[in-house]
Amino acid sequence: MAAEFAFGTENERICVRILAFESTADKESVVEWLDSTVSVNIGAFLGSFKAGFTTQDLMGLYEQLNIALTSPSGKVSFKNTGGDLSLSIEFDDRGHAIARGVIQPHRLPQGILHFRLDMAQSDLIATSEELHDALREFPVGKNARSAS
């Protein structure tokens, strides 16, 4: 049981891989943490790190992205619960999208990467489909129900 979604193209991309629900000591928590890793391949930067994503992060990003893809000049703003990845995606009328953001692994606070990714809107349709698949694997509320 694993899922992933990515922003960008084969040459430059940010990929989030989700392996499993994290077990939490507080079983009454509403937040469902996911065992997640972010991989970065942008320009001269290549690497990966553990990140703090939740099922609610996935759902919020999926909903925003789908709304933006159906509007003529959509915009997405996202920051994961763990604070490791924040991005803003703006669409233009020529079928392009520009993602700008900051990667700052919470386990390495002095390591910060400001990035810009140029891509086609069709790349983000693929991202939306990957998020949909990830939400089928890791649905909101599933871990809370199974912990009860």
For 14-39, how does the pLDDT look when each residue is reduced to its tens digit (9 = 90+)?
999 999 998 765 556 678 999 999 99
CA distance 58 to 67: 14
The second-level CATH assignment, the architecture, of 3-137 is Roll (2.30)
Q: Is the pLDDT of residue 83 over 70?
A: yes
Task: Give the pLDDT band (50/70/90) at residue 71.
Answer: confident
**For residue 66, what are the contacts with CB-CB under 8 A and spacing of at least 6?**
128
Instruction: For the chain, give the mean pLDDT.
Output: 89
Q: Is the pLDDT of residue 146 over 80?
A: no
Q: Is the pLDDT of residue 144 over 60?
A: no
Quick one: pLDDT at residue 82?
92
To 10 degrees, the CA torsion angle through 19, 139, 133, 14? Answer: -50
In the chain, what are the domain boundaries?
Answer: 3-137
Identity at 63, one-letter amino acid code: E
CB 68 within 8 A of CB 55: no
Helices marked H in 36-147: 55-70, 121-137, 142-147
Side-chain-side CA neighbours of 80 within 13 Å: the count stands at 24
Task: Give the pLDDT band (50/70/90) at residue 147.
Answer: very low
